[in-house]
Amino acid sequence: MASRSLPPVGSEDDASVAGTGLAASESEYIGALADAGERMVDRLRRKAFLPESRKGLSVRLGIAEVAGLLGCSTNRIRMAEEDGRLPPPPAAENGRRVGYDIPAILNMREVLGASPRRAEGDAPAIMAVQNFKGGVGKSTVTTHLAHYLAVQGYRVLVVDCDSQATTTTLFGFNPHFNIKREETLYPYLSIDPTQADLLYAVQPTPWPNVDLIPSNLELFDVEYELAAAGADGQSVLATRFRKLKQGLVDLAQRYDVVILDPPPALGTISLAVMQAANALLVPLAATTPDFCSTVQFLSMMDQVIAQLEQAGIAVDYSFCRLLCSKLDKNDPSQSMMMTIMEQTFGSSLLPVPILESAEISHAALRMMTVFELERPIGTARTHRRCKTNLNEAMGQVEQLIRRHWGRANVDGARLSEALAQ
Ligand SMILES: Nc1ncnc2c1ncn2[C@@H]1O[C@H](COP(=O)(O)OP(=O)(O)O)[C@@H](O)[C@H]1O
Ligand SMILES: [Mg+2]
């Protein structure tokens, strides 16, 4: 790509194309802005990733934290390490134990019978994290929920259905350079589909138990194509809806939870996601614009669901909840908005909000979630507070999923019981 240049800051030349002396309209700089942005994204990626530009997963947890996760005593883990059921504990560095990595913890769950997976007959959760407004935290909630569930031992598939591809980026891909249209949902949803099932699109991630169907800008072509289909559009649309649902239901058999991150607008893909899901999570920050847009979103959902049902396309959710995705408790206007949200939505609003935290935005800058951080970015206290809050907020969603499997409240005590048997 030829690198276009921006005018020097504050130059007299602001309105001329560098080197030509020709007057330029501001619009001619857009390409240069895009180039400069791409170069910076690449620099950020190189800083965040392994040398071979592959994202790694280096988070490690101490034995006490692992025991807490598994709902057993540290003694039980040590015994299994001693009698050879588990590999020996990770070696110490500089006299300090380095902790267990995610594959080791997953292995421990298998060996000690502490897997929270759904039973064979339980339907996998296919959950849309949806709202028609951008910036409400859809991708942040999607990725944090995926990694939270992965730490808990579930098998997770994340489907990035948004051509803006923030979720894909947070999983370590550069949607522009690493992802081809053929690797997104496009070949499956296109008006001339070249794929009959969704297996082709599944990519591994640095997490052993999380897969991703990535996205890029070209996924948007699905919207164009169906709009251009004119009168035939309606029937094509209905066929696409059924197709996405069937494809996801088939693929979901390999997972416990499928999380869908749809685009922030009412389009073909959003509609398809809406009816393909069997659960709905609506994130919104505690601000007036988010509240107002969410109310509009809900009323639009209501109308669309009625229309879909009239057309014989059933929409059925095992749960439908709102989740405050960003709350600054020190901001009185946000606390007031939180109260308004509680009054308006009652028990449909999950009781534990995600607190606004620099740890989340700093992790995003490194293209990571807080669950991937090897060490705190801010102070240890900020990190701990953020992770505790995320565990609680995501734990509420986990419980809703488990309730659908008839297995609510898998807390430490229940697991210990299972372990003792
Ligand atoms: N709890 C939070 N604390 C701090 N920053 C947050 C939090 N939730 C979201 N953000 C930031 O808000 C911005 C928008 O979030 P994002 O998940 O991309 O929204 P959406 O997917 O709905 O467009 C991102 O920069 C993200 O890092
Ligand atoms: Mg997003």
| Predicted confidence (pLDDT) per residue in 26-71, tens digit | 777 777 887 888 788 777 777 666 555 557 788 999 999 999 999 9
Nearest CA to ligand 1 atom 16: 137
pLDDT of residue 23: 56
Q: What is the pLDDT of residue 86?
A: 96
pLDDT in tens, 261-270: 999 988 889 9
Rounded Cα distance, 323 and 215, in Å: 24
Q: Tell me which ligand sits closest to the C-alpha of residue 135.
A: 1
Query: Are 156 and 150 within 8 A, CB to CB?
Result: yes
Quote the ligand 2 centre to 164 CA distance (angstroms): 7
* 172 close to ligand 1 (CB < 6 Angstrom): no
For tokens 């490690």, the residue is: 60
410 Cα to the center of ligand 2, angstroms? 30
If residue 247 lies in a helix (H) or strand (E), which one and from where to where?
helix 233-252
In order of their start, the domains of the chain are: 125-420 (3.40.50.300)
Whether residue 140 has its Cβ less than 6 Å from ligand 1 = yes
Question: Do 92 and 63 form a contact (C-beta atoms < 8 A)?
Answer: no
Task: Give yes or no for residue 353 CB within 6 A of ligand 1.
Answer: no
Interval between CA 140 and ligand 1 midpoint (Å): 5
pLDDT < 50: residue spans in the chain:
1, 14-15, 412-421
Query: Could you tell me the distance, in angstroms and rounded to a whole number, from the CA of residue 198 to the centre of ligand 1?
Result: 28
Specify the amino acid at residue 206: P
* Residue whose C-alpha is closest to residue 363's, from 382, 346, 348: 382
Please give the pLDDT value at position 8: 64
Is the CB of residue 283 less than 8 Å from the CB of residue 138?
A: yes
Q: Ligand 1, closest atom to CA 283?
A: 22
Q: For 173-184, b where at least 16 C-beta lie within 10 A, e where not — what string?
A: bbbeebbeeebb
Distances in Å between the alpha carbon of 263 and those of 17, 144, 260, 266, 278? 36, 18, 10, 8, 18
Rounded distance, CA 22 to CA 61, Å?
60
pLDDT value, residue 216: 93
Q: Which residue minimizes the CA distance to atom 9 of ligand 1? A: 137
Residue 419 has a pLDDT of 39
Q: Which atom of ligand 1 is nearest to the CA of 285?
A: 8
Rounded Cα distance, 174 and 166, in Å = 10
- What's the pLDDT score for residue 227? 77
**Phi/psi of residue 327, each to 5°?**
-130, 125
Does any ligand 1 atom lie closer than 6 A to the CB of residue 163?
no
Q: Which helix (H) or strand (E) holds 14?
A: none
Residue 238 CB less than 6 A away from ligand 1: no
Does the beta carbon of 357 lie inside 6 Å of ligand 1?
yes
